[in-house]
Amino acid sequence: MQDLLSRQPRLATLLGALLVAVGSMSAQASSHREAPFITTQPKVDGTDFYMFRSYEGVAPDGSGGRSNFVTLIANYIPLQDPYGGPNYFSLDPNALYEIHIDNNGDAKEDITFQFRAKNTLKGVALPISVGGSTKTVPIPLIQAGQVSQPNDAALNLNESYTVNIVRGDRRTGTSAALTNTVGGSATFDKPVDNIGNKTIPDYAGYAAKHIYSVNIPGCNVPAKLFVGQRKDPFALNLGVIFDLVNAPLGVIANRANADAGVDDLADKNTTTLALEVAKSCLTGSGNGVIGGWTTASLRQGQYLTPSPAKGHGTTVTTGGSWVQVSRLGMPLVNEVVIGLPDKDRFNSSVPSGDGQFINYVTNPTLPRLIEIAFGQPEGVLAPSNLGRGDLVTTFLTGIPGVNQLATVTGSEMLRLNTGIPAVPLASQQTLGIVGSILNGASDFAGFPNGRRPHDDIIDISLVAVMGGLCVANGDTNALGFGTACKPSAVPLGATAFSLHDAVDQGNLTKRPLLPGFPYLNTPIPGAFSAP
């Protein structure tokens, strides 16, 4: 780690002097509708996974505040329109949502947090006068008035959930419930989605009442827990990107115009499962580096009844074993790396079996697709280093001295070195480690060392896939990517560091974040109150 940090000034001088404007290439949403089957099951579609040293209240040197904690954020249910009522976006009670942690490097979960949702219909009914008589009739909405408290009396549908920690195999390991430090309950209320300012005048205050201090069995430090709707923090020029990068090059060719595009997720919400856990309770006996990924599973069988009973969610009866249908670790993998025939297979796979997908990493097709999108012959833009050791190291094994686990097992997961200090939000490099190399900054706490909401993972991934890290690796193999990964293998040269999608993830004015847990901003309301 110290060796890599000591090289920052030299690399920054070299690369910073060579930065020039270049046309933006292609990327896709972090994980929104990324595989054929998951498009039919949006309630279990994992959209983004964040894992980072908590930076709430930390000093410039990374000490103090919540610096001894790790925040885990798993987002599900993509592209939520805030006005998407009247039933909005509750979690699926027939699903199992999970966050997995590998702390020894065998690509198998050592700790799993399992979330199960429950949606309870209260059956609110109102008296209706008809022809001189009164009838009591159930209301058609999920609220019957203004809402301000958890499980408010005005709620017709109360959403709640439980969380278990499983140590060892997620299906056969030892399981125990997380409990509220106040009262000891193992059931937690989830805030209703942000219906609008008339129903919930102070949504930020209302949602904050759903942040819980919890006891985790086997961990002697209380954790924080929140499950609820948030503003989707991801930023992307979505329509343009999918249309073969359909934008004038002059608009997006200079990093000075890095936010000139349209953020198509600016008006979307998502559903967040967030935990803040003491890092000592996650690292185990390893080297302080942890791997993480999220999944969602459904029961193997389901029966659709033609005559649902009265109640809520009675159309489907499920049974059988859990079957994993969604998976997310490092962002963008299933979107722009895994080939279309294997996308469903990847979502159902586990990290220890990722050898079956290695060809997609060592021979990535995205660089060639970028050439096609811009009408360029093969080899004009795409890196030529065979085997793409830069991508294998960055995405499958971890970078030596930065975020490589004690045992190195090639597998796709987000990797975080919990020994690298947190960096306050105002000092974070939007380009993470790449930004630190370019700017001579001391911020190795960002992607691909974990992932923070502020990290612009699209731009970082573009730099990586088009060979920017090979330029940083240099002829002396400074970053350990192999001697085939050097500047001469990168047609774009140092211009690869200017690649971007014309939407700046790091623009905190347009895309504000909370200063502390759960970090993601208050969701957009479905409607604003009339003046």
**pLDDT one-digit tens code per residue, 137-150:** 999 999 999 999 99
* C-alpha of 446 from chain center: 13
- The answer to whether residue 415 is domain-embedded is yes
pLDDT of residue 432: 83
- The answer to whether residue 220 is domain-embedded is yes
pLDDT of residue 458: 83
Tracing tokens 């990517």 back to the chain, one arrives at: 481
- The answer to whether residue 515 is domain-embedded is no
Beta bridge partners of 134: 129
- The answer to whether residue 258 is domain-embedded is no
| Residue of 148, 152, 142, 156 whose CA lies nearest to 206 | 148
- The answer to whether residue 511 is domain-embedded is no
Largest Cα–Cα distance in the chain? 91
Residue 18 has pLDDT above 50, yes or no: no
d(CA 65, CA 124): 44
pLDDT of residue 4: 38
d(CA 494, CA 471): 6
Is this prediction's pTM over 0.75? Answer: yes
Task: Tell me the angle at which helices 457-465 and 432-439 cross, rounded to the nearest 10 degrees.
Answer: 70
Query: Which residue has better confidence, 227 or 133?
Result: 227
Residue 20 has pLDDT above 60, yes or no: no
- Per residue in 396-409, pLDDT (tens digit) is 999 888 999 999 99
Long-range contacts of 302-307 (CB under 8 A, 24+ apart): 302/94
- The answer to whether residue 531 is domain-embedded is no
- Per residue in 153-176, pLDDT (tens digit) is 999 999 999 999 999 999 999 999
Number of domains into which the chain is organized: 1
Q: Which structural domain, as residue segments, surrounds residue 22? A: 2-35+44-237+267-498
Q: What angle do CA 57, 271, 435 make, to 5 degrees?
A: 50
Residue 277 has pLDDT above 80, yes or no: yes
- The answer to whether residue 20 is domain-embedded is yes
- The answer to whether residue 168 is domain-embedded is yes
